[in-house]
Amino acid sequence: MAIRFDGKVAIVTGAGAGLGRAHALGLAKLGARVVVNDMGAARDGSGGSVSPAQGVVDEIVKAGGEAIVDPADVSDFAQVKEMVARATMKWGSVDLMVANAGILRDKSFAKMEPDDFAKVIAVHLTGTFNCCRAVWEGMRERNYGRIVVTTSSSGLFGNFGQANYAAAKMGIVGLMNVLAEEGRKTNIKVNTISPTAATRMTEGLIPPDALALMKPEAITPAVLYLLSEDAPTRTIMGAGAGSFAIIKVVETQGLNLPQSEWTPDAIAANFAKIGDMSTARDLGGAFFQTFKYIEQAAKANGIKLPPMGGA
């Protein structure tokens, strides 16, 4: 059966342009009622106007869909709560949340001021928390929810001049990991998109010929899948220029050393074995790592332990 969102209510943050606009239009096309959230701020978070968001709403309505504008600042929890309340009052629920809003204040670390770091964290990481927290209780009560948060290759793999942005984006992955676990029993699925697209956030960073291949609309199918009824949970999906991939944080099997070899020299001597990526896998949760280490130590010391549900 084709994926549809008829009867579902979605909030898309940062939806006045770029990726958010594409996601909002995509959801509306498949039947969702959409809250188009955008402050209309500049790339660094300054200024503001509802005109970009209103333009997206007009597109949706013209095509026969339902949408409203909401200019809530995602870094302000009270404003986000009010946005969710308005959507719930109008349409009865918020079933889908796409936390996409973001800003950039790129500088090398040596030149980065604390305010530049704090503001980017506030919009990306705290803003994502605010959006998820504001819809969480309603989703729990209705025993249904789908959330997509937004990370970046800058956080997952690193990028010069983006210490603030990268820290926020990797923090979002940690948030997803926990929310996916906590949401399982109430049918709330939480996933992450890692997009690469031609938006005002990437202007000047990528050659024009390459940008032409990287349309925001190429990301949206992955987001829509991750919001769907049968979506996975706790998944990071990379997307760009029509390519899609799964990204995982993995750990090698490692090596247990006897206490007599708990030295930096022993680590150096065994580093190749410790780092053998052919043994790497996704552990699935924090305690899986703990259980793995205990089981390895017990085996090395001839100790029998009861099953702990480890990796």
Residues annotated as catalytic (active site), given as ranges: 165
At 232, phi and psi to the nearest 5? -75, -175
Q: Are the CB atoms for 75 and 123 separated by under 8 Å?
A: yes
List of E strands, the chain: 9-13, 33-37, 67-70, 96-99, 145-150, 188-195, 236-240, 243-247
Distance CA 36, CA 201 (A): 19
The residue with tokens 């200024």 is 47
Q: Are the CB atoms for 222 and 239 separated by under 8 Å?
A: yes
Enter the tokens of residue 293: 């280490």
Nearest to 153 by CA among 185, 195, 113: 195
Q: Are the CB atoms for 9 and 33 separated by under 8 Å?
A: yes
Distance CA 191, CA 195 (A): 13
Distance CA 222, CA 22 (A): 12
Nearest to 189 by CA among 145, 230, 220, 149: 145
For 147, counting Cβ atoms within 10 Å of its Cβ (0-12 exposed, 13-18 middle, 19+ buried), the class is buried
Q: Are the CB atoms for 166 and 152 separated by under 8 Å?
A: yes
